[in-house]
Structure 1
């Protein structure tokens, strides 16, 4: 598999970091792109530098590089996950504004009818946010707010991250053992 992973400036960078770690463990090829605020938030919330993020990915692409392979539909991937997904990034993707690599890669995934999962983290949500989410959902994008369930009875922040990362992987049909499914 080849998965594009985008980290934008919304809070909950811990989910993006957790996702990258699990995809690396599963030996899934990742193409990472990080926005300027995504880099800032990962460092602020997780103490992780851009260099450390790069080490978690198979390939790293500069957000300004619109000539990167992931900017073209002829570069086949299995989909893209944007986690966290800021409202700025969500709005740009919902409205086809491909002004950087992160939003261009999402635009390509949509036009090629590949799987796109966005994990927004904002509260409260404005009507604009909700309309942008609805617009994406109507075209088949999975909108997965960063809202983990607690029926698994997590005991640590790591448990909460595993639940959310596992649910994201479920959307991409990637097998994992991050949590016990309901009913098991």
Structure 2
């Protein structure tokens, strides 16, 4: 029997912050695990509050307990899903010597946006984002706020110029959604596309016409 730890081809960090729309982050993490990607989860204290308000979920505060909770929920393979504490500076995401392939802050508060744009690295989410940027890996921020101030827009522009993908949680309606879950999947599908993770979450533009054509 081979007891060697499994090696994962890709690793993506998913950070949930206190913006409304925690369903986006949960669904993204679920899809990544289902696709065979190793997922590192970072959950802010405010996100834990919003998860309870929006989804009725009480995520354990301790990282180890939260890891077991998420792993069971998403049916992750052993070692496929890791959860790190907000000040766990020994986590692999805190160092450029062991960066993930990509990171998604989903949903992303404008406060987190500001901290990342300023390079503050006051908690592990900020530091993980800073590491991904400095190591030239992909960083996606799923902003969930409206209306946006000039300060928010300036922070987005600053990060976009640094190569960060700014992806506001603005689902489309052209595919005729009838359930909230379909709107969530629309945004998650766009994130997965930018991560080059295959999925079948929604019908792509033009596919309906092609199917009904000659």
Supply the distance in 2 between the matched residues of 1:107 and 1:76 (Cα, whole angstroms). Answer: 10
Q: Where in structure 2 are the equivalents of 1:95-174 lying within 5 Å? A: 95-174=118-197
Segments of 5+ residues of structure 1 without an aligned counterpart are none
Q: Give the structure 2 partner of residue 32 of structure 1.
A: 41
Per the TM alignment, residue 155 of structure 1 is displaced from its structure 2 partner at its CA by: 1.1
- Asked if structure 1 preserves the Cα contact closer than 8 Å seen for 2:142 and 2:169, the reply is yes
Per the TM alignment, residue 49 of structure 1 is displaced from its structure 2 partner at its CA by: 2.2
- Asked if structure 2 preserves the Cα contact closer than 8 Å seen for 1:32 and 1:54, the reply is no
Q: 1:84 aligns with which of 83, 100, 107?
A: 107
Per the TM alignment, residue 26 of structure 1 is displaced from its structure 2 partner at its CA by: 1.0
Tell me the TM-score normalized by structure 1: 0.96
Supply the distance in 1 between the matched residues of 2:29 and 2:199 (Cα, whole angstroms). Answer: 13
Segments of 5+ residues of structure 2 without an aligned counterpart are 1-9, 60-65, 208-214
Q: Give the structure 2 partner of residue 20 of structure 1.
A: 29
Per the TM alignment, residue 135 of structure 1 is displaced from its structure 2 partner at its CA by: 0.6
- Asked if structure 1 preserves the Cα contact closer than 8 Å seen for 2:144 and 2:168, the reply is yes
Supply the distance in 1 between the matched residues of 2:101 and 2:91 (Cα, whole angstroms). Answer: 17
Question: Which whole-Å deviations, capped at 9, do the CAs of 1:76-113 have from their partners, x for residues lacking one?
Answer: 32110000000110000011010000000000000001
Q: Give the structure 1 partner of residue 13 of structure 2.
A: 4
Paired residues in the alignment total: 184
Q: Give the structure 2 partner of residue 179 of structure 1.
A: 202
- Asked if structure 1 preserves the Cα contact closer than 8 Å seen for 2:99 and 2:135, the reply is no
Question: Which whole-Å deviations, capped at 9, do the CAs of 1:29-85 have from their partners, x for residues lacking one?
Answer: 000011110111111111122244464470000011122111011113211000000
Q: Give the structure 2 partner of residue 48 of structure 1.
A: 57
- Asked if structure 1 preserves the Cα contact closer than 8 Å seen for 2:11 and 2:102, the reply is yes
Supply the distance in 2 between the matched residues of 1:68 and 1:131 (Cα, whole angstroms). Answer: 31
- Asked if structure 2 preserves the Cα contact closer than 8 Å seen for 1:54 and 1:60, the reply is no
Supply the distance in 2 between the matched residues of 1:65 and 1:30 (Cα, whole angstroms). Answer: 16
